Amino acid sequence: MSKIAFVFPGQGAQYTGMAKDFYEKYAVSREVFESASKASGLDVKALCFEENDRLNITEYTQIAMLTAEIAILRAVEEAGIRSQVNAGLSLGEYGALVASGVMKEEDAFTVVRKRGIFMQEAYPTGGAMSAVLGTDAELIEKICDETQGIVSIANYNCPGQIVITGEETAVAAAGEALKAAGARRVIPLKVSGPFHCELLKGAGEKLGQELEKVEIQSFTVPYVTNVTAQYVTGPEQVKELLVSQVSSSVRWQQCVEQMIDDGVDTFIEIGPGKTLTGFLKKINRNVKALHVEKTEDLDEVRKECL
């Protein structure tokens, strides 16, 4: 019997038309779009399905991505596929929270709409992020520590791919130092803020105030948090971890390794793109990596898992 983890991608995988086929085919998916629109005050269907200039702006990206993920999740659940643990990268952690029953769907949409706004507004100019390829985490941590200004690791994605974040000048200086120290490539990312670093602490504090209005449910399916890469099994830690997550490193590689150590042998990526599936193949090629992005993917996963 497989031990299944549902995993949810973060910001950056979005595209116009995501989850549209699920919306058209499954009533449970249509209901998710209606719920998200009601909770956020936006026409989320138009945001996701019609060409527009908002989809790649953080305050809109996050609610759009989460809606697409939950719309697909509900169809996966309706097909009878169940997970034993869940996790998500950054924004995707909210997909994991809904899948685990930690947060009601409408509460997750309300919180994520605010999260996107707070992160968008937190540090609108002078921040940067870069992907560092082909060197180890210890060297990157050392160079970030030695670089003047604010720069740190945002994402431990997989072996050979780590993202740094912080003040624009500090990220550029650390990037040059890393290239000089042997990093294969340093690629500046097109982002609207220096996410997952101390410059976003204010956004996390504002998010905490919103989370005070939300009731965390008791849950039986655990999730693995980005902040510590450890299992969360009870409601008492959830809000504090979500506040920290905004300005903490995303320990995605460590999250996946933790789940594999605990016996997970099948990962199903739920949502746009195959980003996490790609990371998984670099973390451990011995586990099964599946994804559900289109309705035909669900048919394939159903054959594999049922």
The torsion angles phi and psi of 206, rounded to 5 degrees, stand at -65, -40
Report the pLDDT value the prediction gives residue 286, as an integer from 0 to 100: 97
Chain centroid to CA 132:
19
Task: Give the DSSP per-residue string, 226-266.
Answer: TTTS-EE-SGGGHHHHHHHHTTS-B-HHHHHHHHHHTT--E
Q: What is the DSSP letter of 218?
A: P
- Residue 147 pLDDT: 98
Q: Could you tell me if 4 and 264 are in contact, meaning their C-beta atoms sit under 8 angstroms apart?
A: yes
pLDDT computed for residue 168 by the predictor: 96
Q: Where would I find the H helices in the chain? A: 20-25, 27-40, 44-49, 58-78, 92-100, 105-122, 137-146, 168-180, 201-211, 238-245, 252-261, 275-283, 295-305
If one counts every other C-beta atom within 10 angstroms of the C-beta of residue 69, the result is 31
If the chain, 306 residues long, is cut into consecutive pieces of 10 residues, what is the mean pLDDT of each piece? 95 96 98 98 98 95 98 98 98 98 97 97 92 97 98 98 98 98 96 94 98 96 98 96 98 98 98 98 97 97 92
Residues marked as catalytic: 90, 196
**Strand 266-270 to 4-8 pairing:** parallel
pTM of the model: 0.97
Q: Which domains does the chain have, with CATH numbers?
A: 4-122+198-305 (3.40.366.10), 127-188 (3.30.70.250)
What's the pLDDT score for residue 41?
Answer: 97
